[in-house]
Amino acid sequence: MHPVRKQRLIIVLCVVVFSSAAIGLMAYALRGNINLFFPPVEVAAGKAPVGQPIRVGGMVVDGSVQRSDNSLHIRFEVTDYQASVPVVYEGILPDLFDEGQGAVAAGVLDENGVLQATEVLAKHDENYMPPEVAEALEASKAMDAAKAKGAGE
C-alpha cells in the first residue's frame, strides 16, 4: 500500500477506535442513568431514591393483583425473584398487563416502600408463537409435571 494511503488508513482507524472508546467510557460512567427502571432488588436495598419520580420493573407476582370493585384502583407486586415491590395505581392498564408477565411502573416511592404509580407499562418477552403452539407447550409442560409427580410417588 502507498505510504500516504497507509497513513490515512491509520488515521481513520484511530478516529474510529478513540471515538468509540470515548463514547464507551461515557456510557459506562452513565450506565445507571441509561437503565429505564430499577429492579425490585435495588429498591429493597435502598438504592432507589424515595420521593422522586422513578420506574420499577419486573414480573407481576402471580395472585398479587387486587382490583377495586368500584374504581380503577389496582394494587399489585412486581418481582425480580429476589425481592418484590408493591405498586398502587389508578388508571387504565395496557392490554398485555397480566399476572406472571413483565411490567414497568413509573411513579414515586413513599416511606412505606410502596410505589405510587402514575403510569404502568407492559413489557413483553422475546417469545412469539401461534396460540396453538402455546397451548401445546402448556399441555406438554403439564404432562411433564404430572409425570415428574408420578415418578416421585
Partner 1 sequence: MWSFFHKLGSPPWLYRIAGSILSWLLPLTLVALAAGAVWGLLYTAPDFRQGNSYRIIYIHVPAAVVALAGYYVMAIAGGISLIWKMKMADVAMKSCAPVGAALTFIALVTGSIWGKPTWGTWWVWDARITSMLILLFLYLGVIALYEAYDNKDAAGKACAVLSLVGTVNIPIIYKSVDWWYSLHQPASIKFTGESSIDPSMLYPLLLMIGSFYALFTCALLMNMRLEILRREARTGWVRKLVGA
Annotated binding-site residues for heme read 124, 128
Task: Between 69 and 95, name the residue whose CB sits nearer to partner 1.
Answer: 95
1 contacts 9 by C-beta, under 8 angstroms: yes
> What is the three-class DSSP state of 54?
strand
Cα 120 versus chain centre, distance = 12
CB of residue 153 to partner 1, shortest distance in Å:
33
CB of residue 44 to partner 1, shortest distance in Å:
16
Tally of CA atoms within 13 A in the half-sphere of 75 that contains its CB: 5
> What is the three-class DSSP state of 28?
helix
CB of residue 13 to partner 1, shortest distance in Å:
9
CB of residue 23 to partner 1, shortest distance in Å:
5
DSSP-assigned letter for residue 39: -
Task: Between 75 and 123, name the residue whose CB sits nearer to partner 1.
Answer: 123
Residue 20 and residue 17: Cα distance in Å, rounded? Answer: 5
Task: Between 82 and 147, name the residue whose CB sits nearer to partner 1.
Answer: 82
Residues near partner 1, by CB under 8 A: 5, 8-9, 12, 15-16, 19-20, 23-24, 27, 31, 34-39, 57, 93-97, 101, 104, 119-135
